[in-house]
Amino acid sequence: MFKVVAPMAGITNASFLNNVIPLGFNVATLGGYSLDESTIKASRKIINRGRKEFDFPLDVIFTHIQNEVELIKSVHPNVKVSANVRSITPQPIIDLNNIEKLDIIEINCHCRQKEILDIGCGQNMLKRDDLSDFISNIVDNVNCEVSVKIRANVDGIDTLEIAHMIEDCGVDYLHIDAMKKGFNHADWELLEKVCNDVDINIIGNNSVNSSSNLEKMIGTGVDGFSIARSVISGNLDFNISHF
Ligand SMILES: Cc1cc2nc3c(=O)[nH]c(=O)nc-3n(C[C@H](O)[C@H](O)[C@H](O)COP(=O)(O)O)c2cc1C
């Protein structure tokens, strides 16, 4: 079972992850990081309106990620390290292949900050006609594993159809924030459908904040689960290590 610390921009750096991995996680996600001029500019606008973001200029970001990966691997050599990233073109994401010991590149098709959506990135990647080429280009040109993080139930997007398309690109993981509008829990029915229909590793995300929600998440048939908000305190009030 993949037990993943989900990305939280401005929060999930190496020192945060090293602190929470002992709760029972075997995959730790750095980021989200912005990797090109457009997304860096968008991140700075987000910071200017008071929201946390990682802010690294283009000439620093790759060295920074390399150092963060080293910091995690030096303490937790057996934990897989993933980097959740945004870019409007595939090349900066392909360039992550030069980062030693980075196990997973995660393409962010999930963020819904207005500044990121305005440049066609984050969740709006799901609306791009060239999304399949974008993802395939990355898969074909990197040696590490590739994950795609999506948000479920986005207006105008058929989650199941997108999941099939992403599977066809040859990625290793589909990380789904199974958000269900109007509910304070994940869309377990949708996750179950995706798990039944799609053959790649599915990482289920959203509201794993109690033993009972964790059991429901696992009951959908996911290959792993991820947790974001419930780890912010550095603790969990439920146990994940027996899965
Ligand atoms: C402060 C914060 C920052 C986030 N930043 C990112 C991000 O950079 N990239 C991403 O894919 N998801 C991001 N997320 C979404 C989480 O990874 C996760 O999908 C969402 O919080 C639902 O999971 P949870 O119910 O376990 O919190 C962020 C969430 C929070 C609360």
Q: Which atom of ligand 1 is nearest to the CA of 51?
A: 1
On whether the CB atoms of residues 54 and 43 are closer than 8 A, the answer is: yes
pLDDT tens per residue across span 99-140:
999 999 999 999 999 999 999 999 999 999 999 999 999 999
Section 175-204 average pLDDT: 97
Residue type, 53: E
Cis peptide leading into residue 50 (ω within 30°)? no
d(CA 224, CA 62): 28
Domains of the chain: 2-231 (3.20.20.70)
pLDDT at 187 over 90: yes
Identify whether the C-beta of residue 204 lies closer than 8 Å to the C-beta of residue 225.
yes
Protein residue whose Cα sits closest to atom 19 of ligand 1: 177
Parallel, antiparallel, or unpaired for β 27-34 and 2-5? parallel
**Termini Cα distance of the chain:** 7
Interval 24-39 mean pLDDT? 98
Residue closest to 112 by CA, chosen among 104, 120, 102, 101: 120
Reported as a pLDDT band with limits 50, 70 and 90, residue 93 is very high
pLDDT above 90 covers a percentage of the chain that reads 98
Q: Which residues line ligand 1 (CB under 6 A)?
A: 6-9, 11, 31-32, 84, 108, 110-111, 149, 177, 205-208, 227-230
Distance 204 CA to ligand 1 centre (A): 13
| pLDDT computed for residue 58 by the predictor | 97
Judge residue 221's burial from the number of C-beta atoms within 10 Å of its C-beta, 0-12 exposed, 13-18 middle, 19 or more buried: middle
| Matching residue, tokens 């040109």 | 141
| 242 has pLDDT over 90 | no
pLDDT above 90 (res 53): yes
Mean pLDDT of 167-171: 98
Average of per-residue pLDDT values in the chain: 97
Pocket perturbation via mutation, ligand 1, pick of 4, 5, 8, 206 by most ligand atoms within 8 A of CB: 8
Long-range contacts of 129-136, Cβ-Cβ distance < 8 Å, separation of 24 or more: 131/165, 132/165, 132/168, 132/169, 134/90, 134/107, 135/107, 135/166, 135/169, 135/171, 136/169, 136/170
Average pLDDT rounded to a whole number, residues 30-56: 98
Nearest-CA neighbor of 61 among 80, 43, 75? 43
pLDDT the model gives residue 243: 86
The full DSSP string for 24-89 is: T-SEEEEEEEE-SHHHHHHHHHHHHTT-------HHHHHHHHHHHHHHHHHH-TTSEEEEEEE-SS
Q: For position 198, what pLDDT does the model report?
A: 97
How do residues 211-230 score in pLDDT, each as one tens digit?
Answer: 999 999 999 999 999 999 99
Residue 83, pLDDT above cutoff 90: yes
What is the average per-residue pLDDT within 34-57?
A: 98
Kindly give the number of the ligand 1 atom that is closest to the alpha carbon of 106: 11
pLDDT value for 205:
98
